[in-house]
Structure formats: C-alpha cells, structure tokens
Amino acid sequence: MEKIREVAVKTDHVQTCELPIVVDLDDTLIVTDTLYEQIAKGLFTRPFGVLRAFCSLPKGRAALKAHLAHEIDLKDTTLPIREDLVQWLHQQADHGREIHLCSAAAQPVVETVARRLGIFASATGSTEANLKGKAKAAYLKQRFPEGFTYAGDSTADVAVWKAASGIVLAGASSSVANAARNLNKPIEAEFKNKQLPLKDLLKALRVHHWSKNILIFLPLVFGHAWHDPSLIIRTFLAFFCLLMVTSATYLLNDLADLNADRLHWSKRNRALASGRMSIPVGLALSGTLLFVGFASALALAPAFAGALASYLVLTGCYSLGLKRVPLLDTLIIGVLFTVRIIMGVVLFSRPSPAWLLTFSVFFFFSLAVTKRHTEIIRAGVTGETHSLTSRGYRVEDAPLTLTLGIASAIASLVVLVLFIIEEMLPASVYSHPQLLSGMPLILSIWLGRIWLLAHRGNMNDDPVSFALRDRISLTLGGIVFVLFLAAL
C-alpha cells in the first residue's frame, strides 16, 4: 500500500509541475512581516501616523493595513528575501510556470515587493477584506479553477492548501508542516527558516559590548572607595541594571535602523536585520529588559534611576534622528560613555574626580569618530555608500573625521597629563604618583595604533570590540593597570 501511495504522490507531483504557483508574502517570500515592518518604521519616523492607523482597527485588520500603507511607505525599505525560495521560483519560471503573489498585506505593499522582484505575473493584496485563510482559498479557487500550487507558512495557510493542488512549505513550523502533509497532496519543495542560535541572540543583546558598562566602576576605583563593601555591592547591582537597559536600547536601535543595517556590509547579518529574530520578539524582549532594569534601579537608588533615564532618553534621541546628523552622532556616543561614569558617581556622596568626566568625553568621542572614519574608508574602497549616506556622511569627509578624531584623542591625553601633575603634588593619595606618568605614554601608543589601522581600513568598525580581541591592546591595557596598582 505504501508503494502504491508513493507512486500516486509522484504522479500528482508531475501534474502539479505545470500549474501556476501562488506565493504568500509575509514570512514566506520574505522572512519578516510587512505589517510589523511598517509598525517598526512608523514608531521611529511617524509615531502619530501609527497611532492614527490603529484607530482604524475597529473597522478590521484590512482597514488597519490600508491605513498603515497610507501612513508608512515601504518603497525604499529593504526587506529580507527568502533567497532559496526566490531561486527556486526563478527556476520554475524558466520552465514556463506562471508565478503569482497573493497576500493578506495591503495592496500597495504587495505591489511594491512584486515590482522589486519582477517575476510575478500578478500581485494581489487586501483591499476591502482581509485576504487570509478561507477568504484567500475561495479567491484562489475561483481565480485558478484548473488548480494551483501554493507556497505558505502559517496555520491560516492550511485552508489554502486544502484548495490547492500542490504545496510548497516556506518557513513553516513543524506543526504546520505536519498539517500540510496530512492533506496527502504533493509537496513540491520545502524551505526552512534559519534558526537563531544562542550566539546570535547574545550578539543581538550586545553581550560583547557589556564590557563598556564597566565604566560605572571607575568612580569607585579613582575615588579610592574599594574598602566600602556596601558601595561595592550597590555598584554591582547598578551594573546589572545597566546591562539590562543597554541591551534593550541596542535592540531598539536595531529596530530603528533596520533598513540601514540591511544595506551595511556586516550589520545585514544581525538577528533583526536578517529576519532571524522577528520584530515582535525584539520589541517584547527590549520592553521586558527596560521594565526590569528600571524597576530594579528605582529600588536601588532614585538618583541612579534618574541617570539611567537620561541615558535612555539620549539613546532614544540618537535612534530617532540624531544618529543621522554628522559628527553630532559621534559626540552623543562619547557622552553616552560618560553618562555610564556619572551613574557610578551618583551612587556615593563623596567628591568625584572631575577630570575623569572631561577625559571620558574627549576619549570616547575620538573612538566614536574612529568608527565613522572606518566606515568612510570602507565605503571609499568598496563603493557601497548606502549605509554611509543614511548617516549623513560622504566619502570625501575622511580628512575631516581623521583630523577631529586625532585632535580629540590628543585632548584626552592632555587632560590625563594634567590629572597626573595634580596627583604628583604632596597631598596626593598615591604612594608613587610618578609611576602614573607612564599611563599617557601607553595610551598614546594605543590611540595611535587604533587610528593607523582605522585609516588603513584594517580594523573592525567598532574599536572597543577590536581592543577586547586584540592581543596588543590587551597587553597595553595590562601595563596601564599594573602602573596604576604600583602607584597606589
């Protein structure tokens, strides 16, 4: 009986190979959902437009989608395509099969995607009614009375597969795939989603950037308060609050910068940009981290929660538009690093080293400019300027970023030298303050190397991440740490 069934399925498959193919859009042709793409884009560009669109929700999902399509245009938005499915569709088109796009997304959105790929004989989306599930099945059965093959992914598509002659699974879960197989219809092809490994989830949370938050401990160290156990515990608790909030802001920034990331040579592989993490998951995860982080911060110290809130506001302003203002974007990054130090300052009442905040602004502004300078150099070599122009920069800005970055690095060294001169006075708390004089020398070597590599285009576009993996940087950092300990 199994052999007879196998032959029957193969015969059906041969027959369906001549039928037109109808492809769903969301989570099938593309590995994201256009509705959530519009919401994410609108939240950071037209928040009131999103609010107006949701006011039409009582009229139905079709009305919501139509209003969102009117408020937020995806014409210039790069959407992550399911490449293996598109390649298969091209092969089928070369064999003479018609390819049609049919989706519950709004008609303007469907037409935009269809024009971009250029392989569809027709593109149909929702207008007055939501073209999904049984409604789509009835429409396609009437449109293709001789039969059709349908490519889909969701539970709602099972109703369409019941009306179809052939099945293509694209991004379907195991339960949906089993439901489709139980229909005993030929499955022409199957394309699975790329899983989000733990490594990529941790990258999305920027676990590798958590080291930046160690700055919160600097006031404790330079304030010589490491003999206070209660302060150390409070600083560690504040550190964990900061980790949650910064990870949440990284996720929000990725959501705000989806299109630019998809045009970037390396950022296109990020979890959200590639579609391996869905937009709803990204929003839910960032919201949870923000809530837990701020609730814990308020319980720890209201002043610390206020500093954390200022960090969030500044990050929000950066994501909403200031990151597209040349040079101001890098200054904000330098200030955000400095705010991390301020969070450590507000945890205890003793006087904080003022020089540390000034040094931090200049130093981290220089590193932020290094990141932009690297991107400019890369764009000049590769010719890929889309991501660069979205930030407001041009290839010809390289001399300017080089000059400002190096000047800021030198300014930070001057501040550090002034601090050391002050500490060499008789009232110094250091036993051997003269040993501190080696710190600017070591730091100048490191900054010079960072800028040399950046200007040559041989460095990762994030100098902090580069330093954490670079043996020479780690060695120089170890020397600075030893000099500090020896000076105590």
- pLDDT tens, position by position, 452-468: 988 887 776 678 778 88
Q: How many degrees, rounded to 5, is the angle at CA 327 between CA 323 and CA 330?
A: 65
Specify the pLDDT at position 461.
Answer: 60
445, 449, 450, 453: CA torsion to nearest 10: 170
Banded model confidence at residue 2, pLDDT cuts 50, 70, 90: very low
Check whether 172 has a pLDDT greater than 80: yes
Is the model more confident about 124 or about 225? Answer: 124
Considering the entire predicted model, what is its pTM?
Answer: 0.81
**Measured between alpha carbons, how far is 412 from 251 in angstroms, rounded to an integer?**
31
The residue type of 458 is N
Superfamily of domain 2-191: HAD superfamily/HAD-like (3.40.50.1000)
Q: Which stretch of DSSP H or E encloses residue 290?
A: helix 279-300
- pLDDT tens, position by position, 325-364: 889 999 999 999 999 999 998 987 666 677 888 899 999 9
Banded model confidence at residue 25, pLDDT cuts 50, 70, 90: very high
Check whether 26 has a pLDDT greater than 60: yes
DSSP 3-state of 150: strand
**Measured between alpha carbons, how far is 482 from 484 in angstroms, rounded to an integer?**
5
* Assigned token pair, 429: 């708390």
Question: Do residues 160 and 142 lie in contact, with contact meaning Cβ atoms separated by under 8 Å?
Answer: no
Question: What is the CATH architecture of 198-487?
Answer: Orthogonal Bundle (1.10)
- pLDDT tens, position by position, 372-414: 888 888 888 777 777 777 788 888 888 999 999 999 999 999 9
Q: How many degrees, rounded to 5, is the angle at CA 189 between CA 153 and CA 130?
A: 30
What is the pLDDT of the chain when averaged over all its residues? 88
135, 140, 146, 147: CA torsion to nearest 10: -90
Specify the pLDDT at position 7.
Answer: 34
The domain segmentation of the chain, as residue ranges, is 2-191, 198-487
Q: Edge to edge, what strands does the sheet with 99-106 contain? A: 122-126, 99-106, 21-23, 149-152, 166-170, 187-191
- pLDDT tens, position by position, 160-169: 999 999 999 9
- pLDDT tens, position by position, 192-247: 998 899 999 999 999 988 988 999 998 888 877 778 888 999 999 999 999 999 99
Specify the pLDDT at position 9.
Answer: 41
**Measured between alpha carbons, how far is 453 from 355 in angstroms, rounded to an integer?**
28
